[in-house]
């Protein structure tokens, strides 16, 4: 980048030297002006390159963290790349265009530069990855995005602690890149350092699951440093990050689901997924179940299916710790999950006798 800036300023010095030299009568003076100013412009451009490229870019990144959402980062990179292409081509055409007769030599380079900027910026915004692959071939970043399907998924704290996302990824149903926000990672560390034993164990489990996601799965996991200093709640930060990156949030938090729905952000709820893939149970079906505890109502027994669905057996209390044949009477779907009510048919142990 420093060389490009130096060439552009050097060409500007060449043009300035040509203009100054044309005002003198001696052609040798004109050549001396052109050579000296072009070399000096190249040197000055090389020295000023960090102040014209790197430092403004770092300032823009800091500005982005304070006031995000003004221009998406991919679009900002595309605009910068388009302007760079336009300036390079315009600088190479400046010298021959400036030799046009009459007044054309003064205005044509500027007009060509504006035209190239108008052409290249929209092309890079709309077809940036394809253009870069055409010029430079497949880069590692572009190749990783293409291999992962180009989709992003943001994980919240509860989804990481829950751990089921790792099992879902192992099945191959999740394709894309998992984004772990830095503020979510900080929240996990804060929970892991909690004086409360239960919260501390949850935090440590979340950190272990995060390590498993980074090493034991086939998807790309990235830590995002985008933060929102004017927002303190993690819920609000997740929603704003999802709106900025235009991608869904993976969670099992009911409150986050409601907040996100109000703001138009899609949430992939793990609990809803678990309920959706459970086997369909209809009234009248018979199955075997083991009664493991007493129910809240008199005479009730409680068991569960292999997927964790709770089964309430009327009159099943007397079959505690016994494998029982039951008949489903009704299925109740609630916000917390699914419950099955059934009647006992015959204990397996007694039937074998």
Question: Among the three residues 243, 275, 307, which one is the final residue of a domain in this structure?
Answer: 275
Task: Tell me the percentage of the chain whose pLDDT exceeds 70.
Answer: 71
The token pair at 181 is: 């926000």
What confidence category does residue 147 fall into, taking pLDDT thresholds of 50, 70 and 90? very low
| Domain contains 78 | yes
Instruction: For residue 76, tell me if it sits in a domain.
Output: yes
Same domain, 52 and 88: yes
**Is the same domain home to 256 and 217?**
yes
Whether 220 and 291 map to the same domain: the answer is: no
Looking at the structure, tell me whether residues 38 and 163 fall in a common domain. Answer: no
Backbone angles phi, psi at 171, to 5 degrees: -75, -15
Domain CATH code at residue 269: 3.40.50.1010
166 plus 265 within the same structural domain:
yes
Nearest to 226 by CA among 68, 80, 70, 75: 68
> Residues 165, 270: one domain?
yes
Q: Tokens for 9, please give them.
A: 């300023």
Whether 21 and 121 map to the same domain: the answer is yes
Contact 268, 251 (CB under 8 A): yes
DSSP state of 223: E
- The Cα 30–Cα 48 span in angstroms is 26
Task: Tell whether 46 and 128 lie within a shared domain.
Answer: yes
pLDDT at position 229 is 77
Contacts 24+ apart (CB under 8 A), 106-114: 113/86, 113/87
Reported as a single tens digit per residue, the pLDDT across 214-249 is: 776 677 888 888 888 777 888 888 888 888 888 888
Q: Let me know whether 136 and 229 are in one domain.
A: no
Tell me what the mean pLDDT of segment 315-341 comes to. 83
- The conformational region for residue 176 under phi > 0 = left, psi -120 to 50 = alpha, else beta, is left
Task: Please say which residue of 126, 142, 158 terminates a domain.
Answer: 142
Residue 45 belongs to some domain of the structure: yes
Q: pLDDT for 242-272, tens place per residue?
A: 888 888 888 888 778 787 878 888 888 887 7
Is 233 a member of any domain?
yes
**Predicted pLDDT at 302:** 92
Q: Is residue 281 part of a domain?
A: no
* pLDDT (tens digit per residue) in 172-210: 777 778 888 888 888 988 998 988 888 889 889 888 888
Identify whether 261 is part of a domain. yes
Query: Residue 242 belongs to what domain range?
Result: 147-275
| Structural domain count of the chain | 3
- H or E element: which one contains 270? helix 270-276
21 in the same domain as 138: yes
> How does strand 152-155 pair with strand 177-181?
parallel
Does 280 map to a domain?
no
Q: Residue 194 in contact with residue 205, Cβ under 8 Å?
A: no
213 and 302 inside one domain: no
CB count, 10 Å around CB of 15? 19
The conformation of residue 26, written as its DSSP 8-state character, comes to -
Q: Of the residues 142, 171, 187, which one is the last residue of a structural domain? A: 142
CATH of the domain at 294: 2.40.50
Q: Tell whether 202 is covered by a domain.
A: yes
Nearest Cα to Cα of residue 95 among 26, 17, 199, 191 = 17
- Identify the pLDDT of residue 217: 64
Distances (CA, A) of 350 to 300, 339, 347: 20, 27, 5
Nearest residue to 47 via CA among 12, 7, 2, 4: 2
Higher pLDDT residue, 294 or 29?
A: 294
Neighbouring C-beta atoms of residue 203, cutoff 10 Å: 22
pLDDT band at 1 (very low <50, low <70, confident <90, very high): low
What pTM value is reported for the model? 0.48
Which of 220, 191, 217, 215 is closest to 205 using CA atoms?
A: 191
Q: Is the pLDDT of residue 327 over 60?
A: yes
pLDDT given at position 136: 46
Q: What one-character-per-residue DSSP string does 41-77 give?
A: HHHHHHHHHHHHTHHHHHHHHHHHHHSTTSS-HHHHH
Helices (H), 148-226: 157-162, 164-170, 182-192, 197-216
pLDDT at 311 over 50: yes
Residues 13, 121 within the same domain = yes
Instruction: Determine the Cα–Cα distance for residues 132 and 146; give it in Å rounded to an integer.
Output: 14
Residue 331 CA, distance from chain mean position:
39
Strands 323-334 and 286-290: antiparallel
Neighbours of 20 (CB within 10 A): 14
């Amino acid at each position: 980048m420093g060389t490009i800036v130096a060439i552009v300023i050097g060409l500007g010095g060449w043009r300035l030297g040509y203009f100054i030299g044309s005002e003198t009568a001696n052609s040798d003076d004109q050549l001396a002006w052109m050579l000296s100013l072009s070399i000096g412009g190249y040197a000055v451009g090389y020295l000023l390159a960090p102040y014209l490229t790197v430092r403004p870019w770092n300032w823009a990144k800091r500005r982005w963290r304070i006031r995000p959402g003004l221009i998406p980062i991919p679009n900002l990179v595309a605009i910068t790349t388009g302007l760079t292409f336009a300036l390079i081509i315009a600088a190479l055409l400046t010298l021959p265009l400036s030799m046009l007769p009459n007044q054309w030599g003064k205005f044509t380079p500027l007009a060509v530069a504006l035209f190239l900027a108008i052409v290249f910026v929209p092309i890079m915004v709309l077809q940036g990855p394809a253009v870069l692959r055409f010029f430079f071939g497949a880069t590692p970043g572009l190749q990783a995005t293409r291999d992962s399907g180009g989709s992003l998924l943001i994980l919240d704290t509860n989804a990481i602690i829950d751990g089921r996302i790792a099992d879902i990824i192992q099945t191959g149903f999740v394709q894309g890149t998992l984004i772990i926000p830095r503020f979510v990672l900080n929240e996990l560390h804060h929970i892991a350092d909690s004086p409360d034993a239960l919260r501390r164990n949850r935090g440590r489990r979340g950190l272990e699951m995060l390590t498993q996601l980074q090493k034991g799965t086939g998807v790309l996991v990235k830590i995002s440093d985008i933060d929102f200093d004017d927002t303190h709640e993690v819920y609000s930060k997740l929603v704003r990050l999802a709106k900025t990156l235009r991608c869904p949030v993976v969670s099992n938090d009911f409150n986050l689901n409601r907040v996100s729905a109000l703001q138009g952000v899609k949430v992939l709820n793990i609990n809803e997924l678990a309920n959706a893939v459970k086997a369909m149970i209809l009234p009248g079906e018979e199955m075997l179940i083991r009664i493991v505890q007493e129910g809240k109502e008199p005479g009730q027994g409680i068991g569960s299916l292999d997927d964790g669905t709770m089964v309430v057996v009327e009159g099943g209390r007397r079959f505690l710790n016994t494998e029982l044949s039951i008949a489903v009477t009704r299925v109740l779907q609630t916000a917390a999950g699914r419950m099955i009510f059934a009647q006992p048919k015959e204990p397996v142990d007694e039937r074998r006798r």
